[in-house]
Amino acid sequence: MSKFSVFYGTFVDTPALSQLRIRPRTSIGVSADGTIQFIKAESQNPLQDALEFDPTLRSWEINVVDTFDHQGTTFFFPGFIDTHIHASQYPNAGIFGSSTLLDWLETYTFPLEANFKNLDSARAIYSKVVDKTLANGTTTASYYTTIDADSSNLMADLCAKRGQRAFIGKVCMDQNSPDYYIETLPECQHATQKVVNHIQNELKDDKIKPILTPRFAPTCSSEMMTWLGNFAHEQGLHIQTHLSENRKELDWVKELFPESESYTDVYDSHRLLTEKTVLAHCIHLSDSELDLIKARKSGVSHCPISNSSITSGECEVRRMLDQNIKVGLGTDVSGGFDLSILSTAKQALLVSRHLAMKESDPETQERLKLSVDDVLFLSSLGGAQVLDLDKTVGSFEVGKQFDTQLIDLNVKGSKVDVFDWQYAKWSETDRDAESETLFKDLMAKWLFTGDDRNTVLVWVAGRQVFSS
Ligand code: XAN
């Protein structure tokens, strides 16, 4: 890697919900450790910007990546953040028939996950997942693996090797699971510590972190959850689990934990709700459960493709956002069939329209609809907030890491068709309102008609990790 890189072009990000920030003709300077050192808007000469930033640099030490195009069809966007993905379930993407959660787990999921003791097959599957998610612009992913420690460690190694920022969650489950896919509490403790130790003391890549992963309350004994809650607090570790996805699951949790006030309270009473906790789904929550999630500063992973596919329900995202609860997006492969966060963002927008259609009051309808800007926020900075990484990634700010994708709407083979009158036509010098409006339409075109073909280059911490 060069001593210093400067990226030049149009930068788009979402510094807050509903805010699309568009910066054409901008230079971003990045040091060798991947940190953004300066951002210069309205720039004409990126190399000059870098030399002005650090006069001790020599021109040949600076790598200039100039992507500016006047049409507005090439732009940088923060790398996507997938807050919930089961890497081990990837071979089943698309295979779910008409099942719903509990029979889906038994029929499709547990038999597949039980096979990860075979490291060759684990390597083939996990390599594919990391390659494909990177090619789809996902620079950070919070992965579930399986109960097996060795293949979970292998996944951590693969992410480190390919340069993806990742959380690795060895799944924990010691009850209500099939005989062929279950662990005892001591086995779980040993395997969990093995993974945490491997990542923290052997791998030592600060982009890879362990995440404690009690699968969901029905498959976790109270003793196991107590141990995980205490371990998380002692070591300051992240936690991920599933919450309130399916109505049969809710009834089951009530039966199993009659002393708990709610499903959310089951986790809270085991110290599993922290500001580093990611709760996937959260579809059928009461107001008091939402209050509890907010009080604990935990985050929600919205998984709209999965929720429609295995018929779990429609998550009321606006209700959470209105309360300032942190929300990001999860592909939830293979409950979800697509490992693209771009597709997931599109589905999040559509699910919000379905919720709106159930309302008769036009104002409520309008409020419930998520906009293009909203779902792009969820795909980037929203996800970073959920993973407690928003000081590090999710938008373009000085001091953050350069985790970025370069989008080209006109790339060969692109599904996006842009006609003459639709180009933004950025001028050499000023910013005009008309170009900005046209550019916003191009972003909508990307969201609705684009796909991985438009993601042409991807960087994590300034290192190029994918090129198409
Ligand atoms: N609950 C779950 N939900 C889901 O979407 N995928 C899973 O693997 C799972 N396990 C429990």
pLDDT digits over 3-58, tens only? 999 999 999 999 999 999 999 999 999 999 999 999 999 999 999 999 999 999 99
Q: Report the nearest atom of ligand 1 relative to the CA of 86.
A: 8
Which residue owns the Cα nearest ligand 1 atom 6?
Answer: 335
- Is the pTM value of this prediction over 0.95? yes
Query: Taking a C-beta distance cutoff of 8 angstroms, is the pair 7, 40 a contact?
Result: no
**C-beta of 210 in contact with ligand 1 (< 6 A):** no
**C-beta of 113 in contact with ligand 1 (< 6 A):** no
pLDDT of 115 reads 95
Give me the percent of the chain exceeding a pLDDT of 70: 99
* Burial of residue 247 (number of CB atoms within 10 Å: 0-12, 13-18, 19+): middle
Range list of H helices, 297-390: 304-309, 317-322, 341-357, 362-368, 372-377, 383-386
Q: Which of 420, 466, 422 is nearest to 442 (CA)?
A: 422
If one residue of 101, 103, 108, 171 were mutated to test the ligand 1 pocket, choosing by the most ligand atoms within 8 A of its CB, it would be 101
**Mind listing the pLDDT tens digit for each residue in 295-310?**
999 999 999 999 999 9
Q: What are phi and psi of 65, to 5 degrees?
A: -110, 100
Which residue owns the Cα nearest ligand 1 atom 5?
Answer: 335
**C-beta of 84 in contact with ligand 1 (< 6 A):** no
If one residue of 85, 113, 216 were mutated to test the ligand 1 pocket, choosing by the most ligand atoms within 8 A of its CB, it would be 216
pLDDT of 284 reads 98
**C-beta of 165 in contact with ligand 1 (< 6 A):** no
pLDDT of 1 reads 63
Question: Residue 448 CA to chain centroid, in angstroms?
Answer: 19
Q: Report the nearest atom of ligand 1 relative to the CA of 113.
A: 8
If one residue of 105, 302, 310 were mutated to test the ligand 1 pocket, choosing by the most ligand atoms within 8 A of its CB, it would be 105
Mean pLDDT of 105-121: 97
433 sits in which H/E element: helix 433-449
Query: Taking a C-beta distance cutoff of 8 angstroms, is the pair 156, 199 a contact?
Result: yes
- Strands 208-214 vs 238-243: parallel, antiparallel or unpaired: parallel
**C-beta of 332 in contact with ligand 1 (< 6 A):** yes
pLDDT of 292 reads 98
Looking at the DSSP assignment, which residues form a beta bridge with residue 455? 407
Q: Report the nearest atom of ligand 1 relative to the CA of 335.
A: 5
